[in-house]
Structure 1
Amino acid sequence: MNRKSFIIASAAAAAGSALSTQAAGRTPKKSGFKISLAQWSIRAFHRAKPGADNYLDPLDFAKYAKNICGIGGLEYVNSFYFGKEGDDAYFAELKKRADGEGVKSLLIMCDRCGQVGASQEEVRIETVEKHKPWLAAAAQLGCHSIRVNAQSAGSFEEQQKLAVDGLTKLAEAAKPYGLNVIVENHGGLSSNGEWLSGVMKMVDLPTVGTLPDFGNFTLNRKTGEQYDRYKGIQELMPFAKGVSAKSHAFDAEGNETKSDYFRIMKIVADSGYRGYVGVEWEGGKPGTTEGIMLTKALIERAIAAL
């Protein structure tokens, strides 16, 4: 067994032992946590040429998550299904495969659908319309939410007001589908925990929440300015309807090099959140499956340490 395999196996064994204790009722703080897989983690497989050894049809997302990774929750990414909007038969097949594997569809991450906080109202209305096909798809799959981006322009306060209006409109559109609208810290002011938590307070709707991401706290890509990730996660967790465990690289002990998962998972647990923690591998090395499994093992170790 090589070093990396040993790390993964050891971490998984430790997590399994901890979860057995949890099942016995001695660690209620840990109960309720499950692991999901963000489809973005396997983008390299979906982007490969059909027929290539590493190609994975997006329809087989559930099969990969369950059988290769041992993960039971799915977080879809809309860009892998562009051109399938409104195709009920396609999403029926996607649901059939998820059900067949015994996994749960949780949400669709929606990108390239316009600016939720655009300065012009007609653009905000258009953005809502662009999200509607994904609302329909998410409902058909049995998801609880769609994840959106809160892009805007202007001052701190102006962007808050615009984002509030756009999110309120989206929440109204999501109501017939019984879905939540959740916002990820995803660059710009959305990566400012004070800004996004303020937006949540101003919206003040039970169906609008956050998807705190462990690693997306870059305020300015040009300057590299960062928001304190631990402070940001603490500010966003009161509104969380999901959690995204972003990972880029690991050290020799199997720890993520930029995010202290043990510290973050304590913040998550202390907030009262119980639910899925999504693996989102965004690194280059090791490979896709190895990166996913290292992330999963680290989450399990962090939960076991609570």
Structure 2
Amino acid sequence: MNYKQEKRRAAIKKIAFVVGGIAIAPTLISQSLAKPFLASNPILPFQISLSQWAFESEIFGKGRDNYKWFKKMLEEDPQAVLQGSMDTTDIVVKAQKLGLHGVDLVTSMIYGHRNNTKWLRNFKQKGKDHDVSFICLMADTATKIGASDLLARKKAVDDHKHWIEAAVELGCEHIRVNPFGDGTYLQQMNQCSESLYELSEFASNVGMQLTVENHGHPSSNGAWLNMLIELTNHSNLGLFLDFGNFFMGGFNAKPRRWYDLKQGVIDLAPFTVGISGKARSFLPNGDIEMIDYDWNMEQVLASGFNGWVSAEYAGKEYSNTQGAQMIIDKLRKLQEKHKQSRTNLMT
């Protein structure tokens, strides 16, 4: 670690004690990191992709009903969990029918093929045949990059390196990892930071962008995640931003404690490489309930975002396809709105 990193780490430790539940004004945290490279389009303010996870019920069927069994079988026989009516590779067919040209993939849906180069390349070719590219590979594994045990942490880093190599074979633009660990908020920040730096370096060497997501536990505290990215201090590390994932604690924690949704976007917009365009319910006018997509998109676009927003319906009222279409409709309205604003500024 060089002197600059040591100095930055020491400075962040001094203020890290407040991240347990108190929002930090973004002016307290330097935004001096180099901006990660972004997928750019000179015409559209952002592009729309489809999340493979949006079709989890059709791909897994009853394969996730017993989660303990599901996690066990992912390691022992990953094909056994794919009990749904939809083949996992048919996500590219869904995207094409919805008029989209990008898909975000999830490792648990292709778990058995991580080291199968032929299968990965065939899947990539199927995407090309349907005019669809793979944008993000969301790495959800049992290993935690922020584990307090050094050997466990090394195993997690090595495990994720294999997924980075798989993402390269698939032609993804970036791979998202979860900054999960154990210990206090400060301990997890330091442990995750060390792993993220190594993974960012590894990914950079193979031409892959690395991202983290606000995805539960400390990472859903916008100030904590902001400081984690700052502490890691690697130009190849960016953020996969989920507008709705600002509940703190575990996924099953009750009652949930929420970090302020808008403060979270302010904290994380400067690092955003990709966005999870998730919705669980809609208002009568087609807007997404509980999340102010109009305001959020203004924030990330003002910070220089020009990447992909992944449509993911997570509700029960509509089918996966119907819900995805409603999110896409909303995103296309925002595309047009901001495209027109840019046109007006240029004329």
Q: Normalising TM by the smaller chain, what interval?
A: 0.7 to 0.9
| Structure 2 counterpart of 1:282, from 301, 305, 314 | 314
What's the offset of the Cα at 1:61?
Answer: 1.4
What's the offset of the Cα at 1:30?
Answer: 7.5
| Alignment check: 8 A CA contact 2:213 2:219 kept | yes
**RMSD (Å), alpha carbons:** 1.9
What's the offset of the Cα at 1:305?
Answer: 3.3
Unmatched segments (≥5 aa) in structure 2 = 1-40, 63-79, 339-347
1:260-275 equivalence runs, <5 A: 260-275=292-307
Separation of aligned partners in 1, 2:43 and 2:262: 20
Separation of aligned partners in 2, 1:300 and 1:210: 22
Separation of aligned partners in 2, 1:119 and 1:305: 47
What's the offset of the Cα at 1:246?
Answer: 1.3
| Alignment check: 8 A CA contact 2:164 2:203 kept | yes
Match of 1:46 in 2: 59
| Structure 1 counterpart of 2:291, from 259, 263, 268 | 259
Separation of aligned partners in 2, 1:99 and 1:268: 29
Q: How many residues align?
A: 275
1:17-166 equivalence runs, <5 A: 31-48=44-61, 55-67=85-97, 69-166=98-195
TM-score between both structures, scaled by the size of structure 1 = 0.85
| Alignment check: 8 A CA contact 2:45 2:301 kept | no
| Alignment check: 8 A CA contact 1:107 1:143 kept | yes
The answer to whether the aligner puts 1:198 opposite 2:232 as a matched pair is no
TM-score between both structures, scaled by the size of structure 2 = 0.75
Separation of aligned partners in 2, 1:162 and 1:291: 38
Change (3 A) 1:151 1:299: same
What's the offset of the Cα at 1:217?
Answer: 0.7
Change (3 A) 1:234 1:303: farther
Separation of aligned partners in 2, 1:147 and 1:296: 22
Separation of aligned partners in 2, 1:125 and 1:131: 10
Which letter maps to 1:233?
Answer: V
Which string of whole-angstrom CA distances, capped at 9 and with x for unpartnered residues, describes residues 128-149 of structure 1? 1211231121101111211110
User: Percent identity at matched positions?
Assistant: 31
Separation of aligned partners in 1, 2:160 and 2:189: 20
Separation of aligned partners in 1, 2:317 and 2:166: 33
Unmatched segments (≥5 aa) in structure 1 = 1-27
Separation of aligned partners in 2, 1:204 and 1:109: 22
